[in-house]
Amino acid sequence: MPIGAHVGVSAGYGRAVEYAASVGCECIQVFSKSPRQWNARPMDVQCAEEFRSRVQTTGMAGVLVHTSYLINLGSDDDGLWERSSAALADELVRADMLGADGVVTHVGTRYRSDPAFTATRIAAGVDRAFAEAGSSATRLLLENTAAAGTTFGDGPEELGAILALLGTSEGRVGVCLDTCHAHAAGWDLSVPGALTALVDDFERCCGMPIEAIHANDCLHAAGMHKDRHAWIGEGTIGYAGFSEIFEDYRLRGLPVITEMPGEVPLKDAENVSRLKRLRDACAEPA
């Protein structure tokens, strides 16, 4: 399983890859534009080519792009829903230019006037985005949430409901499992076997669509619905919980990305190193 981190691109996409390699990343996640703005200049072709070249040169085993935090495909405001779908289409196009393997997105909130309609609303927005993105071959990965407030998509059942309702984009969408979010939503990943049970639930509800993992420890206790990341082993999941990621054969080969608070480069170098040590320990013969 390649291990990496979400890294900034303020110094340029090429330098982002160089930074990732310098802190030990084997895979990488970036934003393709500001995560807190709707509009951005079109992706520069030369920058995208440089990024792809550096990814190949450094041997990165996977590239993910995370979407804007503004996207809300569950909104019952038609204007916001249309804008969100268009923004997702733009993210798919940008990610395709960067040669990304997947675009990770939060799906948004519940459909306020009819919560039972939420999964249908989100699926329609995804279909619309792929239609608008045209020939983009990048896969879309729906990220589970911490189940805070009115957010939708806290786990296998809600994400599975979206996947089951996809139309033209069926087969082009999977899941990114965030450990902090799952723990905060109520799956206590510090308990032995909890991660295995969660993956079982994804198999039951979705046919096992997990294609990437955000490996983040959780600052608060399980079930508190607080999305606050902690360094690996320093939160309420703990080292043992993360070891299960590397022990489950169904997760083998998936990119594992950390999204950590703190100062660069220490936060990335240290957390990538901690995950590598856990991976290596799980690979050692008993």
Q: Active-site residue numbers?
A: 36, 66, 69, 106, 143, 178, 181, 214, 227, 229, 259
Tokens read off for 190: 């510090």
HEC letters along the chain = CCEEEECCCCCCHHHHHHHHHHCCCCEEEEECCCCCCCCCCCCCHHHHHHHHHHHHHHCCCCEEEECCCCCCCCCCCHHHHHHHHHHHHHHHHHHHHHCCCEEEECCCECCCCCHHHHHHHHHHHHHHHHHHHCCCCCEEEEECCCCCCCECCCCHHHHHHHHHHCCCCCCCEEEEEEHHHHHHHCCCCCCCCHHHHHHHHHHHHHCCCEEEEECCEECCCCCCCCCCEECCCCCCCHHHHHHHHHHCHHHCCCCEEECCCCCCCHHHHHHHHHHHHHHHHHHCCC
The residue assigned the tokens 């990220």 is 143
Question: Considering Cα of 136, then 142, then 143, then 147, what sign does the dihedral take?
Answer: positive
Burial group, residue 233, by CB count within 10 angstroms (0-12, 13-18, 19+) = middle
Cα separation, 133 vs 236, whole angstroms: 40
Q: What are phi and psi of 41, to 5 degrees?
A: -65, 150
